[in-house]
Structure 1
Amino acid sequence: MSRIPTVALNNGVGIPQLGVGLYKVAPEVLLDLVPTAVDAGYRHFDTASLYGNELALGRALGAVLEDGSLGREDLFITSKVWNDDQGYDATLRAFDDSMVKLGLDVLDLYLIHWPVADRGLYADSYRALETLYREGRVRAIGVSNFQPGHLQRLLDECEVVPAVNQVELHPWLQQRELRSFHAGHRIATESWSPLARGRILEDPVLLELAARHGRTVPQIALRWQLQEGLVVFPKASSAERLRENAALFDFTLDDAELGLIAGLDRGFRSGSHPDDVQ
């Protein structure tokens, strides 16, 4: 496969534009999945304390690093603080717990998983992330599932502009208003559920584009996201799917085709709306 390009975050840290999402990936799968993904060219792995697989990921990363083919600087690891651990001190404790499980000294990216605005703790949690960033324990900090109002509060009350906001994004939910806000503040957009949990696989426009290019619908959807400048990490649990998801760099969607996909937005969410997560 072609080398996966790197996107520069607002603090200059480079993040591989294509990674592997580990939501609902069983721990016992990771010991084989991670080296397989590395062999396929992946360097970016996205996990969270909620996923219950940080310990297994840490062991798999340790095995990859032990064989000497890659150095720690070649890998990009993301984790997230869960809702129950929000608040300044609790966030710091949660970070320490994640780092023990991951077996890392420095994390590449640490995120607040959801704003859970009714609890009123996300600004305090973000201040904890700022502390970790200043101490050099994490290379970049950001958020997940934040809407413009949540982001604006951080911009008003905190000092470090979030490097990323990780949100549900796919052809049926393109988040253009939010992405415009991101662009205005140099916040990178990351996509979770980039295939709408499989809901888009029978979309007639995407099927036609897939046939035109001799590709699969997932490859068309992921290629669109790359060309939109997004950071994307589809879930994969098999070597075949890992390779398929990575075969995105030897074809291009033209402007007319991008326009067709732009017309698919219907505001459909396959996951929760941020306002509904408490």
Structure 2
Amino acid sequence: MTAFGWASTTDEVLEGVDLSGMTVFITGANSGLGQETARAMAVHGAHVVLAGRDQDKLDESAAAIIATEPEARLDTITVDLASLESIRAATSRARQRFGKIDLLINNAGVMACPFEHTADGFERQFGTNHLGHFALTAELMPLIERGTAKRIVNLSSRGHHMAPMHFDDPNFAQRPYDPWASYGQSKTANVLFSVGIEQRYAVMGIHAYAVHPGGIETNLGRHMTPEMRDALMARITSRDTGFQWKTIPQGAATSCWAATAPELEGRGGVYCEDCHIAEVDDESASGGVRSYALNPSFADQLWKLSEELTGAKFPT
């Protein structure tokens, strides 16, 4: 059992943890959960690489962290997860600039956006939330292999309850686009990706964890119309889930826990929420992980599809 829970914060989870000498790479670190995760880990001695699309926003995020944590060791790197070319360029720079990555936190994401395509023609949510991180992780694996902690945290969501992977039409080329079905599929993919990493790399001491941060008011919901927001809140509250918003430090706590908790040593391929490993549950609306998101054959199918779509190859 973990000593932490729903209300735990990043600082509580990391109390007494020494990350000196560790390099932490965080996508979407320009705001919200990513920035808070970066701040909390920098406080505990980590060298943190803030990754995001916009250099100005990354600079602002770094400045905000330095303002409260003057000793923080920070670097920034620009990467657009909706562009394989940008990912290849950014990871090439990362391999030149950094000797290793101990913790990779794939935190960035988009939610419920209109039907759009990435630079490479993928539906934007699946393309950014999953395929972008798949390609990024593949290119960063040589650095992760040289790290000591060797943990990968993939931000998923309870949104994975909304949809499994649709392997026949992941990019909504044949079926009508639904922003929530797309979001749910991409969040299921984040869990299956964690299972896939575990299947392939646990033998090398590399472990992966999917994380549901909880409901947090961040700019993730910027694409939602008032009607979509009302419908989502009605869905959440009408099912007697006891839903409550978390603060950003509470929302980032499970990422920090999954990245550092000693009780997770030597194991991965799990879905974490509220600073614990969630139970498999195909019915509950208020928690748990759907069995389809942990299915090893689905994880393998997604891995092969992702390699085909992105051309990214993990080291063997």
Q: TM-score range by the shorter chain?
A: 0.3 to 0.5
- TM-score when scaled to structure 2? 0.35
